[in-house]
Every structure is written in structure tokens, then in C-alpha cells.
Amino acid sequence: MEKIVIEMKQSKTIKLMSIGFLLLLLSIFIWILGMREKKILLWLTGLLSMLLSCTGFLIYLGRALQRKPLLTITFDGIIDSSSVNSVGYIPFQDIERFCIVNNSGQKVIGVIPKDEKYFTDKLSPIKQRLAKNNMDNQTPPFTIRVDKAKDMSLEDIYTLLTKRLSDYSSLYD
């Protein structure tokens, strides 16, 4: 089985890049106007804003050109990079099942490990606290945000995950 890489949508990054480009054009206009009118304050303002907006534009251009995976489904596990709080690599041998849950008004995929204590003990203290908070709120300890998935719905990703977990379990359990 090959690995499946689910990429993140770039719509927000492209929007910010477009705003940066428009600000750059406006800055150039102010700079040229300051030079034509021989007003040093206008010229300096245009130059300074041109440098700042050019930097922002280039940063967001770089991000737009990067293809960041949201979730990678491998033969033996998943690599969650869907948010800052994501766990990272989770082997299928540690996963009991997946479910769809409503987390703060947003549908996410919940990951229910076979042994919650064993798995959470391997995490950093901050992620352990987040997992404990999730369990205190009667939700799975780990969730995968897939609302930013490119060309795939939550249900499609959930189906892929449960199929891969089932295939793995039939081979190794």
C-alpha cells in the first residue's frame, strides 16, 4: 500500500499574498508621488511601507508555493500535521478506532487509542494536558482537523482512515 498525502488548502495564504501585493503597489505609488512632489515625508513613508509590504508579500508567496501536508496516511500509521496541537505520528497498532465528533462547533475526526494512558505518556506535557482536557469534555483524546483539506471532505478522509486501520488490523492482529 502506498502512502496517501492529504494536502492543505492554500486559500487563506493566497488571499494574504494578494493583500500584500496590493499594499506593495500602493506603497510604490506613494513613493513615486513623494519623489514627484519632492516631499521627503511622503517619499520616506512610501519607501518604508514598500519594504514592509514587499517582505510580507515574499513571505506569503513562499508559503503559497509550499505544499504542506495536512495528514499523511501510511501503511503502518498516520502523521497528523493538521494544527499546532497535532500529535504527529500515530501508529495503527496504538489506535482502537476513529470517529467523527463535534469539537467546539466544528466537525473533526477523533482518534481513540487502545491504551490512552500509555499513548498520552509519550507526549509532551502540553499535549498531554490537551488530551486530558479533551477526555474531560467527553471527546476523544486526539482530534484531527480536516476542514482545510484540499479536494476531500471529512467523510472521505474518515472512510480512508477506517479502511486503512481495518486493513492493518486484519494483517497484524
User: Tens digits of per-residue pLDDT, 115-133?
Assistant: 888 888 888 888 888 888 8
CA distances in angstroms from 74 to 34, 105, 123, 163, 164, listed in the order given: 57, 29, 20, 12, 8
Q: What mean pLDDT value characterizes the chain?
A: 86
pTM above 0.85, yes or no: no
**Could you report the per-residue pLDDT of 43-101, keeping only the tens digit for each?**
899 999 999 999 989 988 887 887 778 899 988 899 988 777 788 888 898 899 999 98
Q: Exposure pattern of 84-107 as b/e (b: 16+ CB <10 Å)?
A: eebbeebebebbeebeebeeeeee
In 5-107, which residue ranges form alpha helices assigned H by DSSP?
11-37, 40-65
List the domain boundaries for the chain. 8-65, 69-172
Q: What was the pLDDT predicted at 98?
A: 93
